[in-house]
Chains A and B, each alone.
Chain A
Amino acid sequence: MATLELIGLEKSFGATPVLRGIDLEMPDGEMLVIVGASGCGKSTLLRMVAGLERPSAGRVLLDGRDITALDPSQRDIAMVFQNYALYPHMTVFDNMAYGLRIRGLPRADIRRRVEQAAELLGLDALLARKPRMLSGGQRQRVAMGRAIVREPKLFLFDEPLSNLDAKLRVAMRAEIRRLQRRLGVTSLYVTHDQVEAMTLGDRLLVLDQGRAAQLATPMEVFERPADTYVAAFIGSPAMNFLPATLAADGTAAALETDALVPFADGRRDGPDGRPLTLGIRPEHLALAPDGLQIVVELIEPLGSETVVHGRVAQGHQTGDQTLVVKLAGPVPATNRLAVWPIPAQLHVFDRATGQRIDPIGDESAPIRLARTAVAG
């Protein structure tokens, strides 16, 4: 249990920057999920905290102690790997005991710790087996057991569930959450799966090509995404984006179809005609007879809901603008639909920078990180 602080972490491989100035403060016991698309730098960040990669700039402080220059074995951090990385020639017991043996713990202590962890993870019957005799889920639990027995200050998880099948993933997700809460160990968890991120994290750090796009709680990230990247990444099906311009003296947005969408939460700053991107999630579009006309291209019945894919009609022509709508219940086959966004669920972004535009005087602006507020 410890606090973690990342100060200005940067990493470049040769001339290619991979991480640009990450700052982070984690209180003791928090589970922070680092999420983002492939190549956004999340694994690199994790590895720098682990000590497997040296930062080009910046510092890592664990419990106030600067560990930036320390070897991984000296950091008191344990890691759970994506491919489990179990020692194939050792039994489950030995796999978990290895790190403790190196540290010279007395035999009795090692035995106690391993057996406790095994019981916690449901592995007690498997202690004498070798990894090749275990299923994927069991191997993953051994990998976690290996981390748990170390009783470290910090847990690192590197996409540990990616190699499991869907059902197992859901079960393991819950187990990881339960375990982390119970042990109260500060944890950093990396994933590209936004569902995992939303369900596991106390807070999320959304990375976009090496920079921190947003650092906030899952609900915050969902309800008030800091930019279009975050907005598009979280939520499925992804948020719809419509180009628009500021209109009516900042109180509404004008779509390309000339329809006017008034803001429900206040004025936005800027001259009329300021280019915007409007965001609205598929589930926040409601049927409205005199709303936006869309030409239906595909209807996906999911049972309790239906997802409709279509294009916005411009007069009698079908434009290029796609729109995805999620409606409750079944939808009869049709080739035209009229929908309108629920005003309270509208998101407004600057078209050029993708940054969220809040109403003037809004106190609950999403937390942004100082270094990343600048474009380019």
Chain B
Amino acid sequence: MSHAVGIAGPAPRTAATAGERPDWLAHVVLGVGVLLFALPVWLAIAGSTQQSGAILRGDLSLLPGSEGLAAYRRVLLNGELGTQPVWHMLLISGGMALVIAIGKIVISLLSAFAVVFFRFPFRRTAFWIIFITLMLPVEVRIIPTYAVMSQLHLISTFAGLTVPLIASATATLLFRQIFAAIPDELVEAARMDGAGPLRFLRDILIPVSATNIAALFVILFVFGWNQYLWPLLVATTPRLDTIVIGIVRMIGVESETDWAGVMATAVLALIPPVIVVVLMQRWFVSGLTEGEK
């Protein structure tokens, strides 16, 4: 996983640190930790296989029930009272997360490249304009952003859902840091080989930054998938409900809620982001913590 940016991995730790406290303690603590996170999810999984009626009566249990995957079929195809079918919502969430992740990566990559490798008038200004957007998460500017969207006729459109979330500068900052650390000689060698700036970007800069891009993708995909406040505002038609919005809608009057269905939906909502995180875990962790060194 080494590349020209020269980030050294941590020195491998061997038995130098073991033996200070018994190993069993570590297993206990870590085991408890793992259970702390696994149990709530297990509860949802187990509950989704039970009968909603039974759950309503207070019989929710940790043991898998008799309904099997019936609840999943139900919600995937029909949704619940007043919501879209879950497959539709999953698609919206997925599309939104992908667009946000890819959109943000592309825009930030290009901006960071321009700011680091060129000198042009107002470069400093452009950088600060972008940098300041770092300071305000969307939660703080929701209403005026909504007003702007309204003026642009983007309410209840897919674009309206995604574009405002592409605006912040976190990815740009990260790319800037990475690009600034690329050794000068590498750039010079490319120039002497005849590579112009765009070729350099495509042939060298992006491949060398591949791990960081992968990590950023994971972070941004999860970020996009998990959005609640902004879609709540902007998706005024149920057609654009994300699964995160949908699941809250499903919990109507408590006595009428299809609890097994809700739990099934929760599990379904978890699967894609968890898969992305687990599959790309190594890059994700190193990319997340790289900026710290």
Chain A interface residues (CB < 8 Å from chain B): 50, 52, 71-73, 77-79, 81-89, 98-99, 102-103, 132, 146, 150
* Chain B residues positioned under 8 Å from A89 (CB to CB): 3, 204, 207-208, 210
13 A-B pairs within 8 Å (CB atoms) are namely A50-B188, A52-B192, A78-B192, A81-B188, A87-B4, A87-B190, A87-B208, A89-B207, A98-B190, A98-B195, A99-B193, A102-B194, A146-B189
Given contacts A72-B192, A73-B192, A77-B192, is CB(A82)–CB(B185) below 8 Å? Answer: yes
Cα separation A73 to B196 with both chains bound (whole Å): 9
Do the beta carbons of A87 and B188 come within 8 Å of each other? no
Q: Does B73 count as interface, using CB distance less than 8 angstroms?
A: no
* Chain A residues positioned under 8 Å from B204 (CB to CB): 87, 89
Which 5 pairs between the two chains have the least Cβ-Cβ distance? A99-B193, A73-B194, A85-B185, A85-B189, A89-B207
Cα separation A72 to B197 with both chains bound (whole Å): 13
* Chain B residues positioned under 8 Å from A87 (CB to CB): 4, 186, 189-190, 203-204, 208
Do the beta carbons of B203 and A98 come within 8 Å of each other? yes
Q: Does B2 count as interface, using CB distance less than 8 angstroms?
A: yes
Do the beta carbons of A99 and B194 come within 8 Å of each other? yes
Q: Does B40 count as interface, using CB distance less than 8 angstroms?
A: no
Q: Does B123 count as interface, using CB distance less than 8 angstroms?
A: no
A183 to chain B, nearest CB (A): 18
Cα separation A132 to B199 with both chains bound (whole Å): 23
Cα separation A86 to B4 with both chains bound (whole Å): 9
Cα separation A121 to B245 with both chains bound (whole Å): 64
The interface residues of chain B, by DSSP majority, are classed as helix
Do the beta carbons of B188 and A85 come within 8 Å of each other? yes
* Chain A residues positioned under 8 Å from B195 (CB to CB): 73, 98, 102
* Chain B residues positioned under 8 Å from A85 (CB to CB): 183, 185-186, 188-189
Q: Does B249 count as interface, using CB distance less than 8 angstroms?
A: no
Cα separation A50 to B189 with both chains bound (whole Å): 11
A13 to chain B, nearest CB (A): 15
* Chain A residues positioned under 8 Å from B208 (CB to CB): 87-89
Do the beta carbons of B191 and A72 come within 8 Å of each other? yes
* Chain A residues positioned under 8 Å from B190 (CB to CB): 87, 98
A73-B193, A83-B185, A88-B3 known, 8 other contacts, Cβ within 8 Å: A77-B192, A79-B189, A79-B192, A81-B185, A81-B188, A82-B185, A89-B208, A102-B194
Cα separation A73 to B203 with both chains bound (whole Å): 16
Cα separation A77 to B192 with both chains bound (whole Å): 7
The residue on B at minimum CB distance from A132 is B2
Cα separation A50 to B190 with both chains bound (whole Å): 12
The residue on B at minimum CB distance from A79 is B192
B178 to chain A, nearest CB (A): 14
Cα separation A79 to B207 with both chains bound (whole Å): 23
* Chain B residues positioned under 8 Å from A52 (CB to CB): 188, 191-192
CB interface residues, B 1-57, toward A, < 8 Å: 2-4
Cα separation A240 to B194 with both chains bound (whole Å): 48
* Chain B residues positioned under 8 Å from A99 (CB to CB): 192-194
A71 to chain B, nearest CB (A): 8
Cα separation A102 to B210 with both chains bound (whole Å): 22
* Chain A residues positioned under 8 Å from B188 (CB to CB): 50, 52, 72, 79, 81, 85
Cα separation A103 to B196 with both chains bound (whole Å): 12
The residue on B at minimum CB distance from A131 is B4
B37 to chain A, nearest CB (A): 36
- Interface 1/0 per residue, B144-156 and A, CB below 8 Å: 0000000000000
- Interface 1/0 per residue, B63-86 and A, CB below 8 Å: 000000000000000000000000
* Chain B residues positioned under 8 Å from A79 (CB to CB): 188-189, 192
Cα separation A77 to B190 with both chains bound (whole Å): 13
Cα separation A84 to B55 with both chains bound (whole Å): 68
* Chain A residues positioned under 8 Å from B203 (CB to CB): 87, 98
Cα separation A103 to B2 with both chains bound (whole Å): 29
